[in-house]
Amino acid sequence: MKHAVIVAHPDRDSFTLTMARAYCEAAEAKGDEPILRDLYRMGFDPRLGAGEIPRPGGFAPAQDVRAEREVVGDAAIFAFFYPLWFNAPPAILKGYLDRIFTMGFGYGPVQGGGNQPLLGGRRMISFSSSGAPHEWLEDTGAWTAIRTLDGHLARVCGLGVVDHLHFGGIVPGIVPEAVERCAGEVRRTVVERL
């Protein structure tokens, strides 16, 4: 089974990338094929071009979008890893969704009153982190907002949502034991739920 592991963090030694690597290791250990898509190291351009917007007169995905869709197109699972900045995913991840998961990949033209999901039978899981505890995210509405993003992506594209794991209290100087506990939770999730 192929996993597209999509990561949005500028620091190559970040907690976010450490969790994504733990995910990849666990997927490989069970015989699956993870493909790490490290958006910052890839130099992914999150800006949607005017010609990429579906319009009645036509549109066309850019070459980089076509190439990325080719890489992740046969993934059975899409795993998203990102920190919360201003209670939302980094702009590079939103741009990835805007450019990759749109018309022709995530969904098809309107028929019978709605877009046609093109990724049915596949699943998604999200892993986010922040300095704030989970309770704070719930109190401020941030948790509802990111869960709404998960739900919208899943509904429009036909993906099944496995879960969204959030790690709170991730701050500079976090002790290695705490990082390893979180990585262990990621590994267990891959083994037991995917």
Rounded Cα gap, residues 97 and 137, in angstroms? 22
What residue numbers bound the domain in which 109 lies? 2-193
Provide the pLDDT for residue 7.
98
| CA distance from start to end of the chain | 10
Phi, psi (rounded to 5 degrees) for 110: -65, 130
Rounded Cα gap, residues 189 and 184, in angstroms? 9
37-65 per-position pLDDT tens digit: 999 999 999 999 999 998 888 899 999 99
Provide the pLDDT for residue 187.
98
Q: For the domain that residue 12 is a member of, what is the CATH number? A: 3.40.50.360
CB 125 within 8 A of CB 87: no
Rounded Cα gap, residues 59 and 75, in angstroms? 25
Rounded Cα gap, residues 139 and 129, in angstroms? 16
Provide the pLDDT for residue 57.
84
Residue with tokens 């007169």: 57
Helix (H, G, I), strand (E, B) or coil at 70: helix
Provide the pLDDT for residue 119.
98
Structure tokens at 155: 């509904």
Helix (H) or strand (E) holding 119: none
Enter the DSSP assignment of 85. B
Opening angle at CA 74, ends 92 and 167, nearest 5: 45
Residues whose CB falls within 8 Å of the CB of residue 157, separated by 6 or more in sequence, listed in order: 101, 106, 107, 117, 118, 119
Residues of the chain with pLDDT under 70: none
pTM of the model: 0.96
Provide the pLDDT for residue 141.
92
Helix (H, G, I), strand (E, B) or coil at 107: strand
Partner residues linked to 160 by β-bridges = 123
Provide the pLDDT for residue 110.
75
77-98 per-position pLDDT tens digit: 999 999 999 889 999 999 999 9
